[in-house]
């Protein structure tokens, strides 16, 4: 029992990270109908930016307070990653808007290859590991010989994810930008006619998606303490799985899907085989798409003549 | 990055401002990842070093490039767009007419020409790295073209079938001692079996979803190859795969080897040339079969399916069977290519079958112009040949110092080229199609008139 609860805690933590990335996929798909293949690599790049910011703060500026350092790292990573994603949209996707359907997908795959190799060339191919930023844990129960612990960093991840999701929900549901986004999602031409700046709204969507990916990247770095240039692909595909599982285009779906994928992966590794945990996640993707293509919260896609 | 104003007068102040803004954005983009480098020091701790000169040089190049673009390139492009398009002249038509026979003639004499120019010593690299490597990708491109270009099914897991072919040959040849020529068709059959197996459940899906599911299948197959150590030897891969023989005569240095039997001086070049002609024959076979199939009912059904699935169904075409045959046919050629790959390398590991390979082949198909056989061939030469050339650019070490390794920029430039070619020609290099059915005269149609597949 204790073991199971521990796996649940770990799974939800991992799932929060996937959920944050999945929102980026689902938002971009919702608004321009493309799978942003480079999103996983944007996440990886953000983890590197967070790593560099953390090193600057601790080793050069000598900031002692972990909470303050983490906060600054988060802000810096969000800003720079948002700029990167903004530029990607501007350079690689915007000229192809309205072009034929495969063009942006190929462009995104090219961007994904470019980004991961760019980080490899500039930062080197080796794993980058840092000493743990946050240590310590709560022991929740010690019964049955297996201590169930909730570490501070897991708590931070839960807290940050929850706060950001609230802020994000407010942004989409209550602000002018969010309204513009929902309008563009339904009908871009009509939205433009009633005075919504479609280009700007799409740019802002990429900026927000990147900011959330940067939060995920920072949390990933803090949780695992190690990052590598190739770390974008697999979490990217898993987060996409989460977005599909939750119903692509649906924001709560992305978070629920992320947590489900996190749980499936963790429980699979705990009870079956750790070697095949990625196979489990990919199988979930295939099974969902085949049997439940609209996902848990998505609208069914009607085929029109 | 705004579109240049249409005015004839060149706006230098505006160009300068643009250059400044671009430089500023580039500064923001590159500051963290180029300005700083994370290095592991002797105590195995991460430390930061800075690279300000490199960052500055890059920013100057970008700003200057932006300035040159707004001052010189954009007005030139605007002028060119205003000029009426010239009709295709007689010599352009003649080039088009003679391109294919010339290209086929060229690839047939290529190894002989290379030996004549650089001799036996240097020929190995040219035939192997350029000839065989490009032809493998050309064959894969042509195979995938059946699935993506003709049937309009977006497949991101094509490399899975390539892997099935390679492992089929490797394991059967190693464990049962069967010859390459028996296993080649067998590998094709096994791959197309897997094509049907994986194709069947995903047939209902359309467009991007199909792409993602095929990607997932491709990754699942790779992960199984990694983890099923008892069968595939995992990451370590299969070593010592038997090499193909020349009708039973091995390419070895001993008395009954190829060189000895034909009374020649032993050289590894003979095997490479033999392999070159094998893959050339396989690639041309792929192309030929595709071109012929387009004229058969099945090929027309594929193209009809790409254009409109619902119309197809109402005309009584069995869409399930049509899609499955496309999957199986594409997978079969990947299986051939895979078993050739295993025979050529004599060593395979799951590392050779990553998602990057699928993306490479797909990009060759799309960049070449979906459905265009010549376009795919050109794209394979440009993309694979281009990245192979980077391996040979050792003179760059003289300029940038001995630590400079051009090969590490290979995939970086590959990704960049994918993005740039897509922006330049979203429909691919050859964006016209010859109709497979016509009334009296054959008219070429622009690919922008052809709907992309939603099958």
pLDDT in tens, B254-307: 777 777 777 777 777 888 888 899 999 999 999 999 989 988 999 889 988 887
Report pLDDT for B455: 32
- On chain B, the residues whose CB falls within 8 A of the CB of A286 are 201-202, 213, 216-217, 220
Instruction: Flag whether residue B49 sits within 8 Å of chain A, measured between CB atoms.
Output: no
Q: Tell me, what's the pLDDT at B130?
A: 84
CA distance A38 to B164: 28
Over residues B409-424, the mean pLDDT reads 86
Of chain A, the percentage scoring pLDDT greater than 90 comes to 34
User: Which residues 363-382 in chain B show a CB within 8 A of chain A?
Assistant: 363, 366-367, 370
The CA angle A40-A44-A50, to the nearest 5 degrees, is 140
pLDDT(B2) > 60: no
Out of A174-178, A236-240, B448-452, pick the least confident.
B448-452
Q: What is the dihedral of CA A274, A276, A279, A280, to 10 degrees?
A: -60
pLDDT at A273 exceeding the cut of 90: no
pLDDT, tens digit (0-9, with 9 covering 90-100), for B198-223 = 888 887 777 777 888 888 889 899 99
Q: Scanning the structure block, which residue is given the tokens 């192309």? A: B287
| pLDDT band at B397; cut points 50, 70, 90 | low
3-class DSSP state of B437: coil
pLDDT at B77 over 80: yes
Range in A189-198, B103-112, B397-406 with the lowest mean pLDDT: B397-406
Mean pLDDT of chain B: 83
What is chain B's percent helix, strand, coil content, to nearest 5? 70, 5, 25
Least confident of A18-22, B46-50, B74-78, B88-92: B88-92
Measure A151 CA to nearest chain B CA, in Å. Answer: 24
Q: What is the mean pLDDT of chain A?
A: 87
* pLDDT value at residue B401: 65
Is residue B429's pLDDT more than 80? no
Which of A59, A109, A234, A242 is the best substitution to test chain B (most B C-beta atoms within 10 A)? A109
- Pairwise CA distance, residues B141 & B360, whole Å: 9
E-state strands within chain A:
128-129, 137-141, 148-151, 226-227
Q: How is residue A293 written in tokens?
A: 């293509």
Q: Which helix (H) or strand (E) holds A300?
A: none
Q: How many residues does chain A have?
A: 305
CA dist., res. A205 & res. A249, Å (int): 13
pLDDT of residue A144: 65
User: How many angstroms separate the CA atoms of B163 and B349, rounded?
Assistant: 9
Neighbours of B444 (CB within 10 A): 10
pLDDT at A182: 87
Q: Which two tokens stand for residue B420?
A: 């740039």
Residue written as tokens 């007689």?
A: B90
The fraction of chain B above a pLDDT of 90, given in percent, is 23
Q: B454 vs chain A: nearest CA distance in angstroms?
A: 9
Identify the residue whose tokens are 């030996």. Answer: B115
With left for phi above 0 and alpha for psi between -120 and 50, is residue B139 left, alpha or beta? alpha
Chain A closest-CA separation from residue B32 CA (Å): 6
Whether residue B227 and residue A276 make contact (CB cut-off 8 A), yes or no, is yes
Please give the C-alpha separations between residue B51 and each of A161, A177, A247, B34, B64, in angstroms, as whole numbers: 34, 38, 44, 7, 20
Instruction: Give per-residue pLDDT as tens, A30-58.
Output: 888 888 889 999 999 999 999 999 888 88
Inter-chain contact B202–A290, Cβ cutoff 8 Å?
yes
Average pLDDT of span B302-320: 86
Is the predicted pLDDT of residue A128 greater than 90, yes or no? Answer: no
Q: What's residue B447's pLDDT?
A: 53
CB-CB contact of A54 with A69 (8 Å): yes
pLDDT in the model for residue A214: 94
Q: In Å, how far are A146, A149, A258, B20, B251 from A8, measured between CA atoms?
A: 14, 11, 13, 52, 59
For residue A137, pLDDT beyond 60 = yes
Higher pLDDT, B110 or B261: B110
Write out pLDDT tens, residues A181-225. 888 888 888 889 998 899 999 999 999 999 999 999 999 999 988
Contact between A102 and B47 using a beta-carbon 8 Å cutoff: no
**Per-residue pLDDT tens digits for B133-144:** 999 999 999 999
Beta-sheet strands, E only, within A46-180? 128-129, 137-141, 148-151
In the prediction, which pLDDT does B124 show? 78
Whether the pLDDT of residue B454 is over 50: the answer is: no
- What phi and psi, each to the nearest 5 degrees, are found at residue B225? -60, -35
d(CA B228, CA A156): 38
pLDDT band at B87 (very low <50, low <70, confident <90, very high): low
**Residue A118 to residues A84, A121, B416: CA-CA distances in angstroms?**
13, 5, 10
Q: How far apart are CA B33 and CA A84, in angstroms?
A: 11
Give CA–CA dist B350/B167, Å, rounded. Answer: 10
- Judged on CB neighbours under 10 Å (0-12, 13-18, 19+), B297 is exposed
Q: Which of B278, B343, B283, B276 is nearest to B143 (CA)?
A: B283
Report whether pLDDT(B451) > 50: no
**Residue closest to A140 by CA, chosen among A5, A304, A277, A294:** A5
pLDDT in tens, A91-121: 999 988 877 777 888 899 899 999 999 999 8
DSSP assignment, residue B72?
I
Q: Which of residues 253-292 of B touch A (CB under 8 A)?
A: none
Cα separation, A145 vs B212, whole angstroms: 43
Chains A and B: how many Cβ contacts under 8 Å? 181
Collect all residues with Cβ–Cβ distance below 8 Å to B91 and sequence separation of at least 6: none
Let me know: does A153 contact A17? Beta carbons within 8 Å: no
Q: What percent of chain A has pLDDT over 70?
A: 97
Supply angle C-alpha B302, B308, B313, rounded to 5. Answer: 80
Q: Residue B308: exposed, middle, or buried by beta-carbon count in 10 A (0-12, 13-18, 19+)?
A: middle
Please tell me the predicted confidence (pLDDT) of residue B435. Answer: 61
Please give the backbone phi and psi of residue B18, each rounded to the nearest 5 degrees, phi first: -55, -45
Per-residue pLDDT at B295: 85
Highest-scoring range by mean pLDDT, B36-50, B231-245, B279-293: B279-293
Q: Residue B16 burial by CB count (10 A; 0-12/13-18/19+): exposed, middle or buried?
A: middle
Cβ(A249)–Cβ(A234) below 8 Å: no
Question: Which range, of A60-64, A259-263, B47-51, averages the lowest pLDDT?
Answer: A60-64
B4-39 pLDDT per residue, tens: 445 456 778 888 888 889 999 999 888 888 888 888
What pLDDT does residue A47 have? 94
Measured between CB atoms, which of A87, A101, A289 is closest to B25?
A87
Single out the residue of B253, B158, B138, B141 nearest to residue B199, CA to CA. B158
pLDDT bin (cut points 50, 70, 90) of residue B452 is: very low
Partner B, chain A 160-179, Cβ-Cβ below 8 Å:
none
The residue among B67, B76, B62 whose CA lies nearest residue B16 is B67
- Indicate if the pLDDT at residue B453 is higher than 60: no
> What is the arithmetic mean of pLDDT over B373-390?
87
Of the listed ranges A234-238, A292-296, B138-142, the one predicted with least confidence: A292-296
- Nearest CB among A34, A56, A107 relative to B418 is that of A107
Are B30 and B61 within 8 A, CB to CB?
Answer: no
Tokens found for residue B243 = 């090499």
Record: contact A95-B423, CB cut-off 8 A? yes
Q: Is the pLDDT of residue B123 over 70?
A: yes
Is A110 within 8 Å of B220 when comparing Cβ atoms? no
Q: Terminal CA-to-CA distance of chain B, rounded, Å?
A: 36
A282·B223 Cβ contact <8 A? yes
Of the pLDDT bands very low, low, confident and very high (cuts 50, 70, 90), residue B444 is: low
> Whose CA is closest to B144, among B156, B130, B132?
B156
- Residue of B43 and A12 predicted with greater confidence: A12
Do you know the residue count of chain B? 455
0.95 surpassed by pTM: no
Evaluate whether ipTM surpasses 0.85: yes
For residue B44, is it left (φ>0), alpha (ψ between -120 and 50) or beta? left
pLDDT given at position B231: 86
- B297-307 and B269-293 are packed helices; what angle lies between their axes, rounded to 10 degrees? 80
Residue B441 has a pLDDT of 65
From CA B157, how far away is CA B331, in angstroms rounded? 10
């Amino acid at each position: 029992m204790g073991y199971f609860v521990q796996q649940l805690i770990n799974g939800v933590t991992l799932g929060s990270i996937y959920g944050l990335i999945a929102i980026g996929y689902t938002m971009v798909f919702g608004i321009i109908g493309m799978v942003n293949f480079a999103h996983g690599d944007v996440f990886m790049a953000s983890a590197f930016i967070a790593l560099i910011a953390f090193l600057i703060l601790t080793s050069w500026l000598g900031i002692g307070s972990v909470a303050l350092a983490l906060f600054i790292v988060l802000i810096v990573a969000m800003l720079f990653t948002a700029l990167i994603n903004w530029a990607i949209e501007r350079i690689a996707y915007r000229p192809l808007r309205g072009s034929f359907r495969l063009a942006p997908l190929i462009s995104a795959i090219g961007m994904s290859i470019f980004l991961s190799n760019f980080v490899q060339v500039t930062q080197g191919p080796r794993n980058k590991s840092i000493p743990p930023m946050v240590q310590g844990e709560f022991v929740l129960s010690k019964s049955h010989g297996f201590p169930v612990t909730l570490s501070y960093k897991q708590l931070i991840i839960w807290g940050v994810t929850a706060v950001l999701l609230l802020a994000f929900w407010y942004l989409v549901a209550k602000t002018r930008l969010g309204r513009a986004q929902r309008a563009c999602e339904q009908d871009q031409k009509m939205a433009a006619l009633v005075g919504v700046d479609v280009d700007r709204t799409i740019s802002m969507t990429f900026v927000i998606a990147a900011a959330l990916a940067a939060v995920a990247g920072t949390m990933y770095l803090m949780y695992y303490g190690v990052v590598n240039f190739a770390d974008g692909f697999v979490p990217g595909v898993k987060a996409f799985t989460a977005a599909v599982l939750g119903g692509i285009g649906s924001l709560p779906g992305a978070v629920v899907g992320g947590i489900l994928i996190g749980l499936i992966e963790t429980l699979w590794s705990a009870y079956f085989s750790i070697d095949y945990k990625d196979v489990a996640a990919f199988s979930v993707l295939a099974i969902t798409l085949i049997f439940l293509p609209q996902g848990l919260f998505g609208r069914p896609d009607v085929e029109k003549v | 990055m705004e579109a240049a104003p249409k005015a004839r007068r060149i706006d230098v102040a505006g160009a300068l401002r643009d250059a400044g803004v671009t430089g500023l954005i580039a500064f923001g983009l590159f500051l963290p990842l180029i300005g700083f480098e994370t290095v592991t020091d002797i105590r195995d701790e991460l430390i930061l070093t800075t690279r300000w000169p490199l960052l500055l040089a890059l920013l100057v190049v970008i700003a200057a490039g932006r300035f040159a673009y707004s001052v010189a390139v954009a007005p030139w492009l605007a002028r060119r767009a205003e000029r009426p398009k010239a009709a295709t002249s007689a010599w352009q038509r003649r080039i088009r007419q003679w391109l294919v026979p010339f290209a086929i003639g060229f690839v047939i004499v290529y190894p002989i020409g290379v030996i004549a120019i650089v001799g036996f010593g240097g020929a190995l690299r040219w035939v192997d790295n350029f000839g065989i490597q490009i032809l493998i990708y050309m064959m894969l491109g042509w195979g995938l073209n059946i699935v993506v270009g003709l049937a309009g099914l977006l497949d991101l897991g094509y490399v899975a079938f390539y892997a099935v072919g390679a492992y089929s040959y490797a394991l059967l040849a190693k464990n049962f001692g069967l010859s390459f020529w028996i296993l080649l068709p067998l590998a094709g059959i096994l791959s197309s079996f897997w094509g049907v197996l994986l194709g069947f459940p995903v047939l209902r899906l359309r467009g991007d979803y199909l792409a993602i599911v095929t990607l997932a299948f491709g990754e699942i197959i790779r992960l199984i190859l990694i983890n099923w150590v008892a069968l595939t030897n995992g990451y370590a891969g299969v070593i010592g795969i038997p090499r193909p023989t020349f009708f039973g005569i091995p390419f070895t240095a001993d008395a009954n080897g190829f060189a000895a039997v034909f009374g020649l001086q032993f050289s590894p070049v003979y095997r490479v040339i033999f392999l070159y002609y094998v893959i050339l024959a396989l690639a041309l076979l792929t192309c030929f079969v595709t071109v012929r199939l387009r004229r058969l009912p099945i090929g027309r059904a594929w193209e009809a399916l790409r254009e409109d699935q619902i119309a197809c169904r109402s005309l009584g075409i069995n869409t399930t069977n049509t899609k499955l045959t496309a999957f199986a046919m594409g997978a079969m050629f990947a299986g051939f290519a895979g078993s050739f790959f295993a025979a050529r390398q004599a060593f395979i590991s799951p590392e050779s079958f990553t998602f990057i390979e699928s993306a490479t082949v797909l990009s060759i198909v799309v960049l070449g112009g979906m459905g265009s056989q010549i376009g795919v061939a050109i794209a394979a030469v440009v993309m694979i040949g281009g990245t192979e050339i980077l391996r040979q650019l050792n003179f760059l070490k003289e300029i940038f110092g001995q630590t400079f390794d051009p090969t590490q920029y290979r995939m970086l430039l590959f990704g960049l080229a994918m993005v740039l070619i897509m922006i330049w020609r979203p429909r691919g290099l050859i964006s016209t199609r010859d109709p497979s059915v016509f009334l009296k005269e054959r008219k070429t149609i622009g690919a922008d008139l052809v709907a992309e597949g939603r099958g």
